[in-house]
Amino acid sequence: MIRVLVAEDHTIVREGIKQLIGLAKDLLVVGEASNGEQLLETLRHIACEVVLLDISMPGVNGLEAIARIRALSNPPAILVLSMHDEAQMAARALKVGAAGYATKDSDPALLLTAIRKVASGGRYIDPDLADRMVFEVGLTDTRPLHSLLSEREFSVFERLAQGANVNDIAQQLALSSKTISTHKARLMQKLHITSLAELVKYAMEHKLL
């Protein structure tokens, strides 16, 4: 039996995923979480083979959660389930330790296949994304500007786009406001933007919100 922990902040989506997994005789949902902190706390008490992770949860975001899960003594495989169908986002998730990446409009049967594959030690990438990753991520001149951001800069970028201010982000990431301001200045320079309005516009245009 493959034990699955579902981490998704939207209740309706989470319940739908649980019902889908419940149809498979070899899969069992053993826990759920609605934010990153709850996920990490749940993993301290519940063993599982696969974490099905929404990359856009509030609090500890998906990319940070992946890194922290991978740092556990016996980490489960992580299958990212995202509304983002962008090749660069998938590449980031795989780079920090995810075993697979599927989008929320994936065929339900493919999602179950993906869970089984990562549970057995394999890797899974949404078929529609796989080809695009080869061309978009593999060719430097076609990569978007946000691919130049470090993981920390991208984390700050996401929070700024969601409306958080420097002090909020500093508290969330346990860093000083000065450090966050430095990251903000660097990421805005890399993205060739000069205002928060432009930052939000960039995030929306690249489907990062």
Mean pLDDT, rounded, of the chain: 88
Question: Model-level pTM?
Answer: 0.69
Q: Are residues 61 and 149 in the same domain?
A: no
Q: Outline where DSSP puts E strands in 49-122.
A: 50-54, 77-82, 100-103
Residue with tokens 């489907």: 207
82 and 181: one domain? no
* Domain match, 107 and 149 both: no
Question: Are 122 and 86 spatial neighbours (Cβ–Cβ below 8 Å)?
Answer: no
Claim to verify: residue 173 and residue 126 sit in the same structural domain: no
CA terminus-to-terminus distance, the chain: 36
Structural domain that includes position 197: 144-205
Residues 7 and 50 in one domain: yes
Q: Are residues 73 and 122 in the same domain?
A: yes
Q: Which of 88, 116, 137 is the last residue of a domain?
A: 137
Strand order, beta sheet including 77-82: 27-33, 2-7, 50-54, 77-82, 100-103, 124-125
How many domains, in total, are found in the chain? 2
The token pair at 74 is: 């016996």
* CATH number of the structural domain spanning residue 126: 3.40.50.2300
Ranges of the chain whose pLDDT falls below 50? 139-140
Q: Are residues 153 and 124 in the same domain?
A: no
Give dist(CA 103, CA 114) in Å, integer: 11
Is residue 17 located within the same domain as residue 82? Answer: yes
State the pLDDT at residue 135.
63
- Given 85, 109, 137, the domain boundary residue is 137
Per residue in 108-162, pLDDT (tens digit) is 999 999 999 999 999 999 887 877 776 655 544 557 888 888 888 999 999 999 9
